[in-house]
Amino acid sequence: WIDATSPETAMLSFTKVAEAMSKPGFDACDIEGNFRYVRQALDKASQKWLVVFDNFDEPELFRGKQIKEYFPTAGPGSILVTSRLEVVRSLGHNSLEVDQLLEAEALEILLRRTRRKRAEQDLTDATNIVKRLGYHALAIDQAGAYILKRQMDFSIYLDHYNRQREKVLNEAPEIWDYTKISKDSAEGAKNCTVFATLELSLDSLSGEEQEREDKKHTLTLMAFFDINKLTDTIFAPY
């Protein structure tokens, strides 16, 4: 699994794979050597393999280097590239566009997350929520967690969300990507939707004022961690 967000994350991923493959004399600092080892191992492999290049959304970060230069060149395997860019279709023989959730699927996620039954009024309000959130799975999951924790009516949540989204758009700097993009594209609108649901949850942290600020600071700091290294052991002493 290769994080293709940038050249740096891609090469770090290859290093992790080299370690997992028990490369002889493994050295985490030998980035190029680890990359070559993994590619050569896949080229010579006798068993089928799958390599996923995930989040290849900003080719310009690769500074003119083609993503294909990171691909194995032989071997009985397959390569999957995930991206929000239409042009990435040209990299392979087959492509699959992942559409947004159907309304029924979105409702199922929200009802399951909030542990609600299909009462008629709940369904009406729940439908309004998933529509407002653009059928975005992450935003719906966040909304469900918020509603469940507070045992809140769906209709009340929608009012909370609308006010929070307006706050996000009004208070964010004009140069901020979420604000700028959200006014110009469907993708940006989805980004802002997710951000508003996260902000709503962040603003509702429990505790005294200083305790809430400490929690916000900690969560903000966690956003800079490698998600693969952010484990329960970090928090166990506390």
pLDDT, tens digit (0-9, with 9 covering 90-100), for 63-103: 878 888 999 988 888 999 998 888 888 888 888 887 778 89
What letter does residue 100 receive in the DSSP assignment?
Answer: P
Higher pLDDT, 178 or 44: 44
What is the Cα–Cα distance from 143 to 160, expressed in whole angstroms? Answer: 10
In this predicted structure, what is the pLDDT of residue 195? 67
| Residue 165 in this model has a pLDDT that exceeds 60 | yes
Confidence of residue 147 (pLDDT cuts 50, 70, 90): confident
**pTM for this entry:** 0.59
List own/partner pairs for 217-224 with CB under 8 A and 24 or more apart.
Answer: none
Lowest mean pLDDT among 30-39, 62-71, 94-103, 226-235: 226-235
SS3 56: coil
Unique residue bearing structure tokens 């940006």: 188
Q: Which of 79, 71, 81, 66 is nearest to 35 (CA)?
A: 71
Lowest mean pLDDT among 12-26, 30-44, 97-111, 161-175: 161-175
Which residues on adjacent β-strands are paired with residue 144? none
Under 8 Å between Cβ of 21 and 13? no
Give the helix/strand (H/E) hosting 169.
helix 154-171
Under 8 Å between Cβ of 114 and 147? yes
- Tokens representing 189 are 């609108």
In this predicted structure, what is the pLDDT of residue 168? 52
What residues does each domain of the chain span? 2-91, 103-222
In this predicted structure, what is the pLDDT of residue 41? 92
Confidence of residue 51 (pLDDT cuts 50, 70, 90): very high
Residue 84, CB-side half-sphere exposure with 13 Å CA sphere: 11
